Amino acid sequence: MYKTTRLSLFIIGLTFVAPAFAAEKDPNLKLIKARQSEMQLRSFNAGPLFGMAKGQITYDAETASKLANNLKALLELDMGRAWAKGTGNDAYAGKTTALPEIWSTYPEISEKGQAYAKAVNELAAVAGNGLDALKGKIGALGKGCKGCHDDFREKKN
Ligand code: HEC
């Protein structure tokens, strides 16, 4: 009798705890974090390149080359698992700005990804060759980011 009561109390306890626990441990939240973190790394590396092109930061060949090559290195990451279907802002409002169109219009986003990759590769090849060379390729990089965000990322208010 005592045992049964303890057991049922334990089970009741579990049912109260479970929903909060489940929300916290939803593995999709982790993958959303991962893809956002990779985007943050893009921003971290691309930011100073934009700054140099605009003359806000003094151009430095070594730094420019390193930053552009960091962007190139990021292309090597296979982040596919972080873009699981069903993890758009329709299901995870407030947690992600990824639009459901990523999945409903697939593979359109991969075309944007390819345009971006091309821009990164072309920039990395010349970023250390002087400010003019950087300026010649930075526009395509900006378009690469924006081109995808315009269609597949929730607009900032
Ligand atoms: C092929 C599409 C695509 C390209 C190219 C792309 N992004 Fe993104 N980016 C996204 C999507 C989709 C999100 C929303 C991710 C989410 O919230 O889950 C995002 C989110 C972000 C965020 C916000 C991350 C966060 O913490 O919420 C930053 C910053 C960002 N991108 C920077 C960049 C920069 C800089 C570039 C170019 C150098 C770039 N992105 C290129 C699709 C792209």
Domain ranges, ordered by start, for the chain: 27-152
* Cβ(145) – ligand 1 distance below 6 Å: yes
Q: What is this structure's pTM? A: 0.88
pLDDT digits (tens, 9 = 90+) for 79-131: 999 999 999 999 999 999 999 999 999 999 999 999 999 999 999 999 999 99
What's the distance, Cα to Cα, between the start and end of the chain in Å? Answer: 60
pLDDT digits (tens, 9 = 90+) for 142-155: 999 999 999 999 99
Q: Which residues contact 92 (CB under 8 A, 6 or more apart)?
A: 28, 29, 32
Residue whose CA is at the smallest distance from ligand 1 atom 2:
148
pLDDT category of residue 140 using cuts at 50, 70 and 90 = very high
Atom of ligand 1 nearest to the CA of 87: 18
Q: Which residues contact 22 (CB under 8 A, 6 or more apart)?
A: none
CB contact at 8 A, 137 and 119: yes
**CATH architecture classification, 27-152:** Up-down Bundle (1.20)
CA 94 to chain centre: 15
- Any idea what DSSP says for residue 157? -
* Cβ(52) – ligand 1 distance below 6 Å: no
Residue whose CA is at the smallest distance from ligand 1 atom 37:
145
Residue whose CA is at the smallest distance from ligand 1 atom 39:
145
Looking at residue 89, its pLDDT comes to 98
Q: Name the residue with higher pLDDT: 59 or 24.
A: 59
pLDDT digits (tens, 9 = 90+) for 4-53: 555 555 544 444 544 555 556 899 999 999 999 999 999 999 999 999 99
Letter string b/e over residues 27-55, b meaning 16 or more CB atoms within 10 A of that residue's CB: eeeebbeebeeebeebeebbebbbebbee
* Cβ(46) – ligand 1 distance below 6 Å: yes
